[in-house]
Structure 1
């Protein structure tokens, strides 16, 4: 696949050099802080992912509020990354900030529940349709714990995942299809166990492959996003999930749905919007309005089997949870987010803005005659370097072009617009303004004009 068709690559490289120099010239304080941090922080940043941006050194944030942030050099940015979904409802939503401040005065963690726990459990059951819930600090942990419960409840060892998936730092899922063969992902450094022993990987939207993967009756669960978002967006075929769920039920295989990104589809996520009936439901970073926490839910039948498995196991630590899990601060943040932030009105505004972005990007791509497409899932939009949306992880992976992505991202950043550094994801929040949307579209259009041959 030629992702650079219609692009003058010599001009693109010159543009990249120009934009890197422009960034460096405008960021003396960020440059100085990067140099200081490099003396004591591994890779020069507190989390090595913070090196994945297109910038020649780290951009340092001074303050973030609503749909924008300012850097330490005083520049303002319209933020369409929003903490890679962690701040999907805006930076520091006032109801969440107030709840955290109030709870901090009353206690942060006790390894005992507070009143918020009962309210949150009721609201999660009402909103998402699964009657029983547990908590975690991150979606990575929630997915990891969900797999443990699924295996414990079914007595089966194997899981099935989709090629190109990402469910946080859960080692079990770092298996790819390469030329039709399952291989452990090369980037998973330090892992000594053979993941292929218990993980099967198939392509998304392939019902025959799904049937073949679970037909032996040894698969505990399928872990999936309802629409793939981490290798570039891949939407399910019409009726794919209806047929897939029926197939899994026939073979006694559980379905675990990870909605950490697809919660962009509405207050009940993709699951409620499209009528899915998972056995396990995971929601991470957005559920606490940016505060570190996650939730995962169980169907009634699975909850009964999971509790029985725990009661029948020998006494001792299970490893399903951590000391700070479901702390008082986290529950206060989740309650405020569910009650006052993740509202129907908020989603209606986000959908309208995302639709404008979708059409604006498509118009710009068409105007410049590029063979790119645009995909949207609720409040989440993405442009992809191929003429039609991908149907599986392999197709989505083939259209990735890190060099081209970084040129576009840095061009936008230097014009006060931030999008996610991983592929080309654009997210809006309730406080995103139409002016910021138009600023994004105009900068994108101008970038294509400079890239085009």
Structure 2
């Protein structure tokens, strides 16, 4: 997504310069409306500049299109109330970290109980036995490790792949996102490999650690694997972080076959696509990863990540680093993890999520709401004959300003309209709807209602009316 106020990018419809100027003017108008209706948040944002490097506890928090973020007073279910007393229906849900909904009662109850017993000791609890068995049941891989984030889980998966293959490179798909993993900070743009959208160079030689091809391109994938230096392919089951890119028919079968022929491990990152169901896209479609990663939602908003490995990968790991060493004190040979990984608080909340929150019934409700949201948006698009589309999978949906779903990152780059995205995000914030601020992706949680979805449809309809009034749609 472009910085707030910028309309650089493709300019379909009206003449490019005039259209861009009119979109910029509308963004400024929406941002001024936001400033006028959020005086306490504006003051808090100014104060934050004095103490935080980028104005807030995380630099991600500055990326909202209003010019500054709302400051949250409380969040419950699918709703947020800010310090200015304004109410929002939340389809961002912490960019999936809040997929369980805000403050789900089972998670709150488990967290309070465990805090009273001790949050972290670097020792296991009995809850961990239940969690390990449930992860194996849901995702189909037998052996698991807990981390503090999906980024850490991806780093661990990459390190394991390098250890047991003796290879150095990681193959990723152009425009991917796998957290703060250097190997995945790449994309193909204008035929050249560089850093993905808006990531600043930091001296890492990505050509030495990464290889990047377009998603769904089996020929390019096989050519890259043929060089014999790729330790693992790291991928989402379908891309969600660059704009949702559906997977082509037969791609996963070809990917799995190609990686096995090349002796390359397949790492599936389900951090977003866990919204497809209790076992994520992997269980729903019978994928067979060597390593599976997830995070964000898995502990109900308490920082957590997980990775599971196949029996074959485990045996190869144990050949290098034995599970037990009775003669000597154990030491951290793997170079991954941390003292807070698998802490008692995280494990307790993870059990609550898996046992009581992200149940099959909950996913049924979430998926139904996402379907209703997609149908409502599609109806508005069809009514006005707009060259846009909606993609939905499981509890997740996205509106994209192009006529057909992209097949790869190059399609997203060619079809993206950053100014229009920024305008939509700013307008939505003023109308009490929050969506993922990086692109127009929606997520439904167990607490999302049909009324919440219909509120979005009404706001989307008003947004389209604004564009038509201004001659932009």
Bin the TM-score by the shorter chain: over 0.9
Q: Which residue of 1 aligns with 2:420?
A: 404
Contact kept, 8 Å, 2:20 with 2:419, in 1: the verdict is no
Contact kept, 8 Å, 1:89 with 1:342, in 2: the verdict is yes
Shift in Å, 1:316: 5.6
What are the superposed Cα offsets for residues 129-175 of structure 1, whole Å, 9 maximum, x if unpaired? Answer: 00000011000110011100111111111111000000000011112
Structure 2 distance, partners of 1:318, 1:224, is 23
What are the superposed Cα offsets for residues 377-416 of structure 1, whole Å, 9 maximum, x if unpaired? Answer: 1111001111000000111122222221111111111111
Structure 2 distance, partners of 1:448, 1:11, is 15
Shift in Å, 1:106: 0.5
Structure 2 distance, partners of 1:275, 1:186, is 32
Q: Which residue of 1 aligns with 2:4?
A: none
SS of equivalent residue, structure 1 residue 44: coil
Cα distance change, pair 27–195 in 1 and its aligned pair in 2 (3 A): same
Structure 1 distance, partners of 2:371, 2:174, is 28
* Unmatched segments (≥5 aa) in structure 2: 1-8
Contact kept, 8 Å, 1:400 with 1:423, in 2: the verdict is no
Q: Which residue of 1 aligns with 2:164?
A: 153
User: Does 293-302 or 25-34 show the bigger shift?
Assistant: 25-34
Structure 1 distance, partners of 2:304, 2:212, is 28
Contact kept, 8 Å, 2:30 with 2:426, in 1: the verdict is yes
Q: Is 2:389 the counterpart of 1:378? A: no
Q: 2:267 aligns with which of 232, 253, 256?
A: 256
Contact kept, 8 Å, 2:30 with 2:66, in 1: the verdict is no
Structure 2 distance, partners of 1:316, 1:2, is 50
Structure 2 distance, partners of 1:98, 1:116, is 14
Q: Which residue of 2 aligns with 1:369?
A: 385
Shift in Å, 1:179: 2.7
Q: 1:84 aligns with which of 84, 88, 95?
A: 95
Structure 1 distance, partners of 2:240, 2:424, is 19
* Unmatched segments (≥5 aa) in structure 1: none
Structure 2 distance, partners of 1:3, 1:117, is 52
Q: Which residue of 2 aligns with 1:269?
A: 280
TM-score (norm 2): 0.92
Shift in Å, 1:188: 4.0
Matches within 5 A, 1:44-443: 44-185=55-196, 187-189=198-200, 191-311=202-322, 317-443=333-459
Contact kept, 8 Å, 1:346 with 1:430, in 2: the verdict is yes
Structure 1 distance, partners of 2:162, 2:440, is 35
Q: Is 2:47 the counterpart of 1:36? A: yes
Q: Is 2:27 the counterpart of 1:16? A: yes
Cα distance change, pair 179–245 in 1 and its aligned pair in 2 (3 A): same
Shift in Å, 1:193: 2.7
Shift in Å, 1:319: 2.4
Contact kept, 8 Å, 2:10 with 2:416, in 1: the verdict is no
Shift in Å, 1:185: 4.4
SS of equivalent residue, structure 2 residue 321: helix
Shift in Å, 1:58: 2.5
Cα distance change, pair 184–196 in 1 and its aligned pair in 2 (3 A): farther
What are the superposed Cα offsets for residues 255-306 of structure 1, whole Å, 9 maximum, x if unpaired? Answer: 0000000011111100011110000000110000111001100000001112
Structure 1 distance, partners of 2:86, 2:443, is 20
Cα distance change, pair 344–111 in 1 and its aligned pair in 2 (3 A): same
Q: 1:5 aligns with which of 13, 26, 32?
A: 13
Q: 1:444 aligns with which of 460, 467, 471?
A: 460
User: Does 289-298 or 392-401 show the bigger shift?
Assistant: 392-401
Paired residues in the alignment total 453
SS of equivalent residue, structure 2 residue 249: coil
What are the superposed Cα offsets for residues 223-278 of structure 1, whole Å, 9 maximum, x if unpaired? Answer: 00000000000011112101211121111111000000001111110001111000
Shift in Å, 1:2: 4.4
What are the superposed Cα offsets for residues 30-70 of structure 1, whole Å, 9 maximum, x if unpaired? Answer: 11111111111112111111111101222100000100010
What are the superposed Cα offsets for residues 343-391 of structure 1, whole Å, 9 maximum, x if unpaired? Answer: 0110111111111111111111122222111111111100111100000
What are the superposed Cα offsets for residues 314-364 of structure 1, whole Å, 9 maximum, x if unpaired? Answer: 966542101111000010011100000110110111111111111111111
